[in-house]
Amino acid sequence: MVRALVTGGAGFIGSHIAAELLERGHAVTVLDSMEPYYDLRIKERNIDRCREIGGGRFQFVEGSITEGALVDDLFSSRDVEVVYHQAAQAGVRTSIENPKKPHDINTTGLLTLLRAADDYGVRRFVNASSSSVYGEVEYLPYDEEHQTVPQSPYGVTKLTAEHYCRVWNDIYDVPTVSLRYFTVYGPRMRPNMAITNFTSRCLDGKPPIVYGDGQQTRDFTYVDDIVEANLALLDAPAADGETINVGSTRTITIEELAEHVIAETGADADPVYTEPKDGDARHTHADVTKARELLDYEPSTEIRDGVSQFVDWYRENRKWYEPLVVES
């Protein structure tokens, strides 16, 4: 049994990682600040689900990764072996409006965790990074050697965090890995994302709203694939010190995505186009060669299949989930 700390574990990706660790018999402590970035009832359901799965092997602690004394107490009292660091102030657009907040959480908070990981001798520290670090496209698909020119404060904080993790691996001998996620989606996803909004509007008889011309492309990654990549790092020493893309390897335009959601929901609607949002990348596309080599990673869910699964989940959970969706 592994004793894991999942930061941000009440959120979308973190709760899926925590739940799967518990399903596999491990002990999990979740640290989450319960920041009301979106409706907290979703996070509360995530916590309840983990508690149902794990029983006495699960503990939830409300607090921030920036609280040094709290972090020290968790590492020492829980005898933490593995850290899955998912906590962050998310959102490209949010970071443009308030760049200091993501810096404080995504950079300073990370340093608090890395220091504790060094002090208490964790055997693996997995850092959630983002395709936002790439920014300007030089070529596609992005491999890990592609230039990194982030176009938002959020992307800058994620790139800075990667460098800190590399330094802690090289200088302080803390085994770190950074996983660059590509647009993660799936059940219980953050409710202000494109797939959620498209589905909500279509089921309510409204047209999906597309920002820009709809020809932007995204490498959407189903959350189950993200979880598998993370859990592969319970035992993957060759990955120490690496930064690794985790994507689906396939892309879809936002216009095609909207049309697919329309077809899956049976909506009688056409997409409505509006002004593009600042800071959004034009294209993303992951080269996952390194993930295949180091993690035996193979994405299992193609975007159209994943959207179909999400729409089915949405219908089943519509009564509680839909009122919490915030259009963005």
pLDDT at 281 exceeding the cut of 80: no
Instruction: Give CATH 3.40.50.720 domain extents, the chain.
Output: 3-182+221-246
Report the pLDDT value the prediction gives residue 176, as an integer from 0 to 100: 98
SS (H, E, C) 170-231: HCCCCCEEEEEECCEECCCCCCCCHHHHHHHHHHCCCCCEEECCCCCEECCEEHHHHHHHHH
Question: Which amino acid is it at 112?
Answer: T
pLDDT tens by residue, 192-242: 889 999 999 999 999 999 999 999 999 999 999 999 999 999 987 888 999
- 41-76: string of b/e by CB count within 10 Å (b at 16+)? ebbebbbebbbebbeebbbbeebbbbeeebbeebbe
At residue 112 the predicted structure's pLDDT band, cuts being 50, 70 and 90, is very high
At residue 326 the predicted structure's pLDDT band, cuts being 50, 70 and 90, is low
Average pLDDT of the residues in 50-69: 98
Report the pLDDT value the prediction gives residue 280, as an integer from 0 to 100: 74
Q: Which of 208, 129, 170, 186 is nearest to 306 (CA)?
A: 186
At residue 136 the predicted structure's pLDDT band, cuts being 50, 70 and 90, is confident
Q: How far apart are CA 222 and CA 229, in angstroms?
A: 11
Q: How far apart are CA 214 and CA 82, in angstroms?
A: 41
Mean pLDDT of the residues in the chain: 94
pLDDT at 324 exceeding the cut of 90: no
Average pLDDT of the residues in 73-89: 96
Report the pLDDT value the prediction gives residue 228, as an integer from 0 to 100: 97
Tell me yes or no: is domain 3-182+221-246 CATH 3.40.1280.10. no
Instruction: Give CATH 3.90.25.10 domain extents, the chain.
Output: 194-218+249-286+300-324
Residue 164 is a catalytic residue: no
Average pLDDT of the residues in 29-36: 95
Choosing from 154, 164, 181, 314, the catalytic residue is 154
Report the pLDDT value the prediction gives residue 142, as an integer from 0 to 100: 96
Residue 272: Cβ within 10 Å count? 12
pLDDT at 46 exceeding the cut of 70: yes
Spatial contact of 185 and 221, defined as CB atoms under 8 Å apart: yes
Tokens of residue 97, six digits: 């409006």
pLDDT at 95 exceeding the cut of 60: yes
Q: Against a cut of 0.75, is the pTM above it?
A: yes
Fold of 194-218+249-286+300-324: UDP-galactose 4-epimerase; domain 1 (3.90.25)
Spatial contact of 174 and 238, defined as CB atoms under 8 Å apart: no
- Percentage, residues of the chain above pLDDT 90: 86
At residue 327 the predicted structure's pLDDT band, cuts being 50, 70 and 90, is low
Average pLDDT of the residues in 23-34: 98
